[in-house]
C-alpha cells in the first residue's frame, strides 16, 4: 500500500482526501509491519534455537555479542537481560555503592537514576540542553562533589550527548563515563559510535527500540577486556567457576532466542535507520509546508548521526496538540511527563520545582510522533495535517491544503 501512497505530494486535494481515507489509524509504532517483512528468516532463527535446545547464553548470544561489538566499534560486548540491568551491572562492576554519587540527567527514563539508587548511591542531576534534551556539559562542575564516582550521559531520542566536554571533565576528575545508549544504537558523535566513547556503553533491546527483540534484553559494550570478563561473571550470579562465588552478581543473562532474533534484525538496522532519517526529513519538510515552523519546534540535529528512536516535537500548548492527534486517531507518546528530580521516590534528594528548569520545560512541552521505518509519507502528512488543522481552527483560516481530517 505504501508504494502507492508515496506519490501523494503530486495529488490534487480531492485525490488526497480519497487516499487519506484509506488510512484509518496511524499508530505510534507498528511492529507487525516489521515482522511480516522478515517473518521467514525470524522463523528460521527461532527454529534453529529450538533444534539446539540451548536457551541460556550459548553460541547465539556469543555471536550476537561479537556482531554488536563490531557494529558499535568496540572490542567487547556482553549480552544481558535488559537495558536497565545493563546500567545496574555497569555500576556494580565499578563497585559503586553507599556514599557514592553518580552524575546524570533528570530528563530520561527512570532506569538511569533507578540503577544508581538501587546500589545505595545518590543521583546528582545536571540539567539538559534545551535543543538536544541531552545532559548539558556546562552543568557538570556544579554537580561535582568529593563523592562523585561516575557520569552517565544519556543519548536521548537517538542523538548522542555532547561527549567531548563530558569525557574531558570526567578525565580531569577521575570519573568513569557510562553511556546510556538505550535509545541510540548506531548513533554517532563526531563519527564515534554510541557505546564506544566511555568506559562502558549500555544498550536496550526492548521491543520498541530501533533494534528490538522479543522481550527484554540488553548489551554492555567496552574496550576494556578485563572489565568485560568481570561483567560476564556478574551476569551469572558472580559464579567463576560454576558454583564458586568470589563476588555477588545476579541473573542478568540474555537468552538465546532473543539473541537469534536480534541477529536477524541487526543485519537490517542500518536500512531501518536510513528510513527513520528519511521520515524525519519528511516531517521537517511537511512542518515547513504547512507553515508550522514558528508554532511547533522540530528536533535539532547536532550529532553527526541521529538515529531517531523518537521524533520529538515541542509546543507550549501541548495539550491542544494531543487533543488534535487523538481526534485524528494518531498515536503519540510523552517522554517524559515528570522529570526524575520531581518523582516522589526521589523526594529525599531535596529538589523542588525549578531546580532544573530546562528539564521541567521539556517535560511540559514535548511529545513524540510516529517515526517507525514503515510509516510512509501519506501517514506523516496526515499527522502534520491534524496539527495544522488545530492552528487553522484557532486562527479562523483554512489550512493550506484544506483536507478534512475528521
Smallest CA-to-CA distance from 300 within 105, 162, 196 is with 162
Per-residue model confidence (pLDDT) at position 100: 98
Comparing CA positions, the residue from 219, 189, 214 lying closest to residue 204 is 219
What was the pLDDT predicted at 394? 55
Q: What is the pLDDT of residue 294?
A: 85
CATH 3.40.630.30 fits 38-266, yes or no: no
pTM of full prediction above 0.85: yes
User: Mean pLDDT, 10 residues at a time, over the chain (406 residues)?
Assistant: 37 48 77 94 97 95 98 98 98 98 98 98 98 97 98 98 98 98 97 97 97 97 98 96 93 97 98 98 96 92 95 94 94 96 97 97 98 96 93 55 30
Q: In this structure, how many other beta carbons lie within 10 angstroms of the beta carbon of residue 213? A: 23
Question: Can you give the pLDDT at residue 395?
Answer: 53
In degrees, rounded to 5, the angle at the alpha carbon of residue 297 between the alpha carbons of residues 5 and 373 is: 35
Domain spans of the chain, in order of start: 2-36+268-395, 38-266
Instruction: Determine the pLDDT at residue 61.
Output: 98
Top CATH class, 2-36+268-395: alpha beta
Q: Residue 107 in contact with residue 336, Cβ under 8 Å?
A: yes
Amino acid at each position: 500500500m505504501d508504494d502507492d501512497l508515496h506519490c501523494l505530494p503530486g495529488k490534487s486535494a480531492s485525490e488526497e482526501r480519497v487516499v487519506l481515507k484509506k488510512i484509518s489509524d496511524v499508530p505510534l509504532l507498528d511492529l507487525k509491519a516489521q515482522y511480516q517483512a522478515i517473518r521467514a528468516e525470524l522463523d528460521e532463527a527461532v527454529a534453529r534455537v529450538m533444534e539446539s535446545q540451548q536457551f541460556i547464553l550459548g553460541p547465539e548470544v556469543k555471536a550476537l555479542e561479537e556482531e554488536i561489538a563490531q557494529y558499535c566499534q568496540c572490542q567487547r560486548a556482553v549480552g544481558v537481560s535488559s537495558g536497565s540491568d545493563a546500567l545496574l551491572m555497569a555500576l556494580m562492576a565499578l563497585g559503586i555503592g553507599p556514599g557514592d554519587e553518580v552524575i546524570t540527567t533528570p530528563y530520561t527514563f527512570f532506569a538511569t537514576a533507578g540503577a544508581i539508587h538501587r546500589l545505595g548511591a545518590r543521583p546528582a542531576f545536571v540539567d539538559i540542553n534545551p535543543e538536544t534534551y541531552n545532559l548539558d556539559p556546562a552543568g557538570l562542575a556544579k554537580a561535582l562533589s568529593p563523592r562523585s564516582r561516575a557520569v552517565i550521559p544519556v543519548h536521548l531520542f537517538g542523538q548522542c550527548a555532547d561527549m567531548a566536554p563530558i569525557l574531558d571533565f570526567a578525565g580531569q576528575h577521575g570519573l568513569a563515563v557510562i553511556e546510556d545508549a538505550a535509545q541510540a544504537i548506531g548513533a554517532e558523535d563526531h563519527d564515534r559510535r554510541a557505546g564506544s566513547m566511555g568506559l562502558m556503553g549500555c544498550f536496550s533491546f526492548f521491543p520498541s527500540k530501533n533494534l528490538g527483540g522479543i522481550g527484554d534484553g540488553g548489551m554492555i559494550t567496552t574496550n576494556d577486556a578485563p572489565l568485560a570478563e568481570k561483567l560476564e561473571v556478574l551476569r551469572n550470579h558472580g559464579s567463576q567457576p560454576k558454583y564458586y562465588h568470589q563476588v555477588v552478581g545476579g541473573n542478568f543473562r540474555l537468552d538465546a532466542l532473543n539473541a537469534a532474533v536480534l541477529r536477524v534484525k541487526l543485519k537490517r538496522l542500518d536500512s531501518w535507520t536510513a528510513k527513520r532519517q528519511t521520515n524525519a526529513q519528511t516531517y521537517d519538510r511537511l512542518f515547513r509546508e504547512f507553515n508550522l515552523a514558528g508554532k511547533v519546534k522540530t528536533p535539532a540535529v547536532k550529532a553527526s548521526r541521529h538515529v531517531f528512536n523518537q521524533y520529538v516535537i515541542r509546543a507550549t500548548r501541548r495539550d491542544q496538540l494531543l487533543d488534535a492527534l487523538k481526534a485524528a486517531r494518531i498515536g503519540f507518546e510523552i517522554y517524559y511527563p515528570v522529570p526524575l528530580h520531581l518523582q516522589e521516590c526521589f523526594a529525599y534528594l531535596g529538589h523542588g520545582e525549578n531546580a532544573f528548569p530546562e528539564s521541567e520545560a521539556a517535560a511540559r512541552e514535548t511529545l513524540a510522533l510516529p517515526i517507525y521505518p514503515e510509516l510512509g509519507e501519506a501517514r506523516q502528512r496526515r499527522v502534520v495535517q491534524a496539527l495544522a488543522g488545530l492552528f487553522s481552527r484557532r486562527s479562523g483560516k483554512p489550512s493550506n491544503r484544506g483536507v478534512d481530517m475528521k
